[in-house]
Structure 1
Amino acid sequence: MRSGKKSIHAITTWVRRQPPKVKAFLAVVSGMAALVLLRFIVHDHDNLFVAAEAVHSLGISVLIYKLIKEKTCAGLSLKSQELTAIFLAVRLYCSFVMEYDIHTLLDLATFATTLWVIYMIRFKLKSSYMEEKDNFAIYYVVIPCAVLALFIHPSTSHHLLNRISWAFCVYLEAVSVLPQLRVMQNTQIVEPFTAHYVFALGVARFLSCAHWVLQVLDSRGHLLVALGYGLWPSMVLISEIVQTFILADFCYYYVKSVFGGQLVLRLPSGVV
């Protein structure tokens, strides 16, 4: 056991000393290796999407436990929760008018839970909310996502407004975690439950990304044609990949902290 920890420590120390370009290359190689492994282990790749939703639900459960049992919202970003509520509300609208399925019910449950979290932070636990640390201006992501959706959106037969709305929620979901990462960057110390929640988001994002990438590979690119023409199919995949890489650095330090037996995650300057 000790030799295993020493090996992990040696590897993480070596990785930390590498220049940014080498780290980026190693991240890409690791991601590709994980995709290859999942392709052979998981026969029905639709299960990856279900697993992503399950992990996301687990992360929300951890967040609920923190708010109820510890009665504090310290370290949580209200703005990230608000962005999540926005893209879920738009996606629910699109689901009802474009394609209603089981995922609509799952989104509805997540939306209700997110509204409850927002209520707890704004009113019940306001005294513990780190407002000065939660200083990410959300219009920096909302406006660019809206503008991008105007120009790049699905090419289906649905009403133009619905297609633009769908694209907007896809883009906004990809960057909704940025305010939470800013809070952690400002504090540099992340308590366990918040770390568990963000790590669950990272794993869920990776599984969702893996689902789309493997579906494209299995269909030999035909899935991209099914999504429409123009830049939209590529933007869907790019959005999934962006979500994954935004959280990749945090997940690396989370895993390192867990193997090191640390209860509180301490982030080096400039990690997120």
Structure 2
Amino acid sequence: MRPSMRASRNPLKVLITWVKRQPPKVKAFLAVVTGMAAIVFLRFIVHDHDNLFVAAEASHAIGISVLIYKLMKERTCAGLSLKSQELTAIFLAVRLYCSYVMEYDIHTLLDSATLVTTLWVIYMIRFKLKSSYMEDKDNFALYYVVVPCALLALAVHPTTSHNIIHRISWAFCVYLEAVSVLPQLRVMQNTKIVEPFTAHYVFALGVARFLSCAHWVLQVVDTGGRLLTALGYGLWPSMVLLSEIVQTFILADFCYYYVKSFFGGHLVLRLPSGVV
């Protein structure tokens, strides 16, 4: 009986259990190694690395669709952060303005659609479903992220030939996007229990952020570093890549618990203290 019992053990569960027992520094190292390995894997299986950006946008769209489905079907916004949606609307509005005056392309249209749906979500939370909004749990002060992002944008921004206001605005939306999910993570940390639709939404954001990060890293590798020069000089190119990496790692811990819960057969995600 013992050999058969050992053979029936799920290797993934064994791996997750082993990782869970490791100290924080080892977990961080394993996360970095796993991320790098995933990027190398994507480099060889995806021939056109621009498709990774399209995949990132698609993942974001799926996440928003899940969110809309939750609001329409369950008629509740419990577990959602209004402040995260407001931060998302701010950086999308600023990025849209910069796109119109600096580089109008297909991404401008995609951002327009995302902004419209985000404003609809804000409207639903503020007015239609206000009674189910957990305002006491959504207690992340927005000035903790908005003010530092604005100051950082003043100090480090693109060195292109565009108007200085446009360049600072572009930097501001890049930095703000990197931390816009923090209020949502705080809500989930405060409640400890995350219902499925909210968990799916945040996981989709995590996947989108990783694919976007992989896109930028592989583009730099493919161009032999020339992409960094095209973005400008000084600290700005490094800050763009750093912002992508920060977004990915902010969501990495949540995605770990999401995958663990999914393979454990649990519909409701329970977060331990200290995830955010």
Query: So what's the TM-score if we normalise by structure 2?
Result: 0.97
1:164 lines up with 2:199 in the alignment: no
- 2:126 alignment counterpart: 122
Q: Is the 8 A contact 1:5 1:259 kept in 2?
A: no
Report the equivalent of 1:269: 273
Matched residue SS, 2:47: coil
Alignment match, 2:26: 22
Task: Tell me the equivalent position of 1:148.
Answer: 152
For structure 2, the 5+ residue unaligned runs are none
Paired position in structure 2 for 1:74: 78
Cα distance in 2, alignment partners of residues 167 and 57 from structure 1 = 23
Query: Which residue number in structure 1 is paired with residue 60 of structure 2?
Result: 56
Choose which of 156, 171, 182 in structure 2 pairs with 1:178: 182
Q: Distance in 1 between matches of 2:89 and 2:211?
A: 21
* 2:233 alignment partner, SS class: coil
SS of 1:73 mapped into structure 2: coil
- From 189, 196, 200, the equivalent of 1:196 is 200
| Counterpart residue identity of residue 205, structure 1 | R
The two structures, once aligned, show a CA RMSD in angstroms of: 1.0
Q: TM-score, normalised by structure 1?
A: 0.98
Q: CA deviation at 1:7?
A: 1.4
What is the DSSP-based 3-state SS (H/G/I as helix, E as strand, rest coil) of the residue aligned with 2:161? coil
Structure 2 counterpart of 1:155, one-letter code: T
Q: Distance in 2 between matches of 1:38 and 1:80?
A: 30
Separation in 1, partners of 2:16, 2:79: 26
Amino acid of the structure 2 residue aligned with 1:166:
W
Counterpart-to-counterpart distance in 1, 2:160 and 2:255: 36
Instruction: Give unmatched runs, 5+ long, in structure 1.
Output: none
Question: AA paired with 1:130?
Answer: M
Q: Which runs of 4+ in 1 moved over 6 A?
A: none
| Deviation at residue 5 of structure 1 after TM alignment | 6.3
Q: How many residues align?
A: 271
What SS class does the counterpart of residue 243 from structure 1 fall into? helix
Distance 1:67 1:197 in 2: 12
Identity %: 84
Cα deviation, residue 4, structure 1? 7.4
Instruction: Using the TM superposition, give the Cα deviation of residue 10 of structure 1 relative to its aligned residue in structure 2, in angstroms.
Output: 1.2
1:8, CA displacement in angstroms?
1.2
